Amino acid sequence: MRKRRLLVVGSGGQPFREYALAAMSRRVEIVLAIDSEISWQQPYVGEYHRVDPHDPVALEELVRRVAPDGLLTYDELLVEPVAQVAAVAGVPYTDVEAVRRCKDKSALRALLAEAGVSPVRFAVAFTEQEAVRAAEEIGYPVVLKPRALGGSIGVVQAADEKQLLASFAVAADANSDGTVSAHAGVLIEEYLDGPEYSVDCVTWEGTTVPLIVAEKELGFPPYFEEIGHIVPAAPHPDLAAAVEMVVRAHAVVGLDRLASHSEFKLTSRGPRIVEINVRLGGDLIPYLGQLSSGIDVPGAAADVAVGQQPDLSQDRSLVASIGMIYPEYDIRLESVALRGDAADHVGLERFTTFLPAGTDVRLPPQGFLSRVGFAIVTDETREGCRRRLEAVRAAVVIEGAPLAAR
Ligand SMILES: Nc1ncnc2c1ncn2[C@@H]1O[C@H](COP(=O)(O)OP(=O)(O)O)[C@@H](O)[C@H]1O
Ligand SMILES: [Mg+2]
C-alpha cells in the first residue's frame, strides 16, 4: 500500500533528531521543508523543499502545492506557525487554538486552574515593579520564565525580592539563538517543589495514551538545565495520579491528533503540570522510550498526523538513560572525547559530540543548553544504568581555554 505523505516542517539537528526522522520514515513518506540545503536528512526523505518556515505566506503556498495527508513539526519555535498554516490551508491538524493555549504558558495556567486541574498561582509581569508585586501575592520562592520559549532558556528561581530583581532581565531578555518569546511579558509562578518527570503521550481520536514516563535530572540552580533523563521513572505512589492528571489536561485544552511531551512535578501539595509541549519530546527522550520499551513515539506521531491508527506496541523492558555533558566553566572548546575505547563501555548506546572546535560555551545565565555532548546507556536495572552513565561521564575529557567573564 502507498505510504501516506507527511509534510515535516523543520528537521532540527542531526544529533538530537535523526532517530525521529528515521522512525517516522518507516511509517510514512516524508516531504521535508527546511530553510537550508538537505544533507543528513536525505536517506529519510522522499521529497524536499527549501522554504523559510517562519514566512507564513511561503509556508502556506508550499502546503497547498504539496497537498500532504498531514503536517508535523517537532521544532518548538515552529509549533504555532505550523498549526496556523494547517488551519488556513485546511490540512487536518491539532486545533490551532489548543496549540496556542499550550504555547502561551500563562494561558495554559489560567485554563487548567479554571478546570480545577493542576492549580498553580501565577501572574504575567511586564516590569520589575509588576514582578515584585506579583511575587508578593504569590509568595516566595517564585520561578520567572519567558511566556513562550523552550529549553529552560531564561527560566530562573528567585527566593526573595533581591534575587527576583537580579534575575528579572534573564527571563525578560531570554532568546533562543536570537528568537525571542512569541508572547511578551515574564511569567511569575509559585515554586513547585519535588521531583520532576515528563510523560510522552499520543492522542488519537480524542483518546490520550501515556507512553513514556521519564525522570528528569536538573542542574545549575537557580536555573533549570536538564542534565539527564532516565526511562522508566522509579515507582512512586503519586505517579499514576499525576499521569492521569496530564491526560485530563489534554482533554481540557482540546488537544487531539498529536504526540505531546508534558512535564510535571510531584509536589508536597500534589502533582502539578509544569508545561505541555505540543510536539515530540526533546533531549532524545522518545528514543530512550524506544530503547527501554520498544514503543515508537515518533512513528506514532507520524501515524496520527496523517490520520492512521498509531502502532503503540511494546516488546522489551530495559532502563535507558541520557546524560548531557557540560564543561565545568565557560570555555572556548577545543575537543570533547571519551578516554579509551567506547566499546569498553558496556551498554553505551551512543556517545555524541556536536560542537566544532572554537565554539564558545557559556554556562547559565550567560548561556543556556550549554551541552557539549551526550551519552546514552541502557541496562537491565536502574542502578546499573546509573553506574554505567557515571562511568562514561567520568571518562569524558573536555579540552579548551577558559573564557573571561562577560
Ligand atoms: N513553577 C515552577 N516551579 C519549579 N520549577 C519550575 C517551575 N516552572 C518551571 N520550572 C523548572 O524550569 C524548567 C523549565 O521550565 P518550563 O516551563 O518547562 O520551560 P521551557 O519551555 O523552557 O522548558 C522546568 O522543567 C522545571 O524544572
Ligand atoms: Mg519545559
Question: In ligand 1, which atom is closest to the CA atom of 192?
Answer: 3
Residue 349 has pLDDT above 80, yes or no: yes
Which ligand 1 atom minimizes the distance to the CA of 191?
3
Cβ of 151 below 6 Å from ligand 1: yes
- To 10 degrees, the CA torsion angle through 234, 240, 242, 245? 150
User: pTM score > 0.85 for this model?
Assistant: yes
Residues 212-230, mean pLDDT to the nearest whole number:
97
Query: What is the residue with the minimal CA distance to atom 15 of ligand 1?
Result: 152
Q: How far is the CA of 341 from the centre of ligand 2 (A)?
A: 35
* Rounded Cα distance, 79 and 81, in Å: 6
Q: Is the CB of 148 under 6 A from ligand 1?
A: no
Please, which pLDDT band fits residue 406 given cuts at 50, 70 and 90? confident
pLDDT for the residue 220? 97
Give the residue with greater pLDDT, 96 vs 177: 96
Q: What is the pLDDT of residue 176?
A: 85
- Residue 12 φ/ψ region, left for φ over 0, alpha for ψ in the -120 to 50 degree band, beta for the rest: left
Q: Of the bound ligands, which one is closest to the alpha carbon of residue 215?
A: 1
Q: Is 345 left (phi over 0), alpha (psi -120 to 50) or beta?
A: beta
pLDDT digits (tens, 9 = 90+) for 262-280: 999 999 999 999 999 999 9
Ramachandran angles phi, psi of 303, nearest 5°: -55, -55
What band does 333 get if pLDDT is binned at 50, 70 and 90?
very high
128-135 long-range contacts, CB within 8 A, separation 24+ = 128/165, 128/168, 131/164, 131/165, 131/168, 131/186, 131/188, 132/161, 132/164, 132/165, 134/188, 135/161, 135/164, 135/188
User: Does the pLDDT value for residue 350 go beyond 90?
Assistant: yes
Q: Environment class of residue 289 by beta-carbon count within 10 Å: exposed (0-12), middle (13-18) or buried (19+)?
A: buried
315, exposed or middle or buried, with CB in 10 Å at 0-12, 13-18, 19+?
exposed
Q: What φ, ψ does residue 196 adopt, rounded to 5°? A: -115, 145
Q: Taking the alpha carbons of 80, 87, 279, 198 in that order, is the dihedral positive or negative?
A: positive
223 CA to centre of ligand 1 in angstroms: 9
Cα 16 to Cα 285: distance, rounded to the nearest angstrom: 10
Higher pLDDT, 343 or 10: 10
CB of 122 within 6 A of ligand 1: the answer is: no
Return the ligand number nearest the Cα of 104.
Answer: 1
Residue range 290-322, pLDDT digits in tens: 999 999 999 999 999 999 999 999 999 999 999
Q: Which ligand is in closest contact with the Cα of 151?
A: 1
pLDDT of residue 292: 98
Nearest CA to ligand 1 atom 21: 150
Closest ligand to the CA of 219: 1
For 76-92, what is the mean pLDDT? 97
Instruction: Please choose from 102, 143, 147, 167 the residue to mutate so as to test ligand 1's pocket, defined by most ligand atoms within 8 A of CB.
Output: 143
Question: Is the sign of the CA dihedral 393, 399, 404, 406 positive or negative?
Answer: negative
Ligand 1 atom at shortest distance from the alpha carbon of 154: 22
Identify the pLDDT of residue 182: 82
Q: Is residue 212 a contact partner of residue 289, using CB atoms and an 8 Å limit? A: yes
Q: What average pLDDT score do residues 377-388 get? A: 97
Q: Is 196 in the pocket of ligand 1 (CB under 6 A)?
A: yes
* 41, three cell numbers: 536528512
Cα(149) to centroid(ligand 2), Å = 9
pLDDT band with cut points at 50, 70 and 90 for residue 1: confident
The x, y and z cell numbers of residue 90, run together, are 485546511
In this structure, the strands spanning 348-353 and 5-9 are: unpaired
| Per-residue model confidence (pLDDT) at position 180 | 85
Ligand approaching nearest to the C-alpha of 269: 1
Smallest CA separation from ligand 1 atom 20, residue? 150
Evaluate: CB of 30 within 6 angstroms of ligand 1.
Answer: no
- Of all residues in the chain, the percent with pLDDT exceeding 90 is 94
Do the Cβ atoms of 150 and 79 come closer than 8 Å?
A: no
- Mean pLDDT of all residues in 339-365: 95
121-130, pLDDT tens digit by residue? 999 999 999 9
* Per-residue confidence (pLDDT) for residue 237, from 0 to 100: 96
CB 393, CB 323: distance < 8 Å: yes
Q: How far is the CA of 155 from the centre of ligand 2 (A)?
A: 9
Confidence at 76, pLDDT banded by 50, 70, 90: very high
The rounded mean pLDDT for the chain is 96
The pLDDT value recorded for residue 183 is 86
For residue 110, what pLDDT is reported? 97
Task: Tell me the best of 181, 274, 324 to mutate to test the pocket of ligand 1, counting ligand atoms within 8 Å of each CB and taking the most.
Answer: 274
276 CB near ligand 1 (under 6 Å): no
Give me the mean pLDDT over the 108-119 stretch: 97
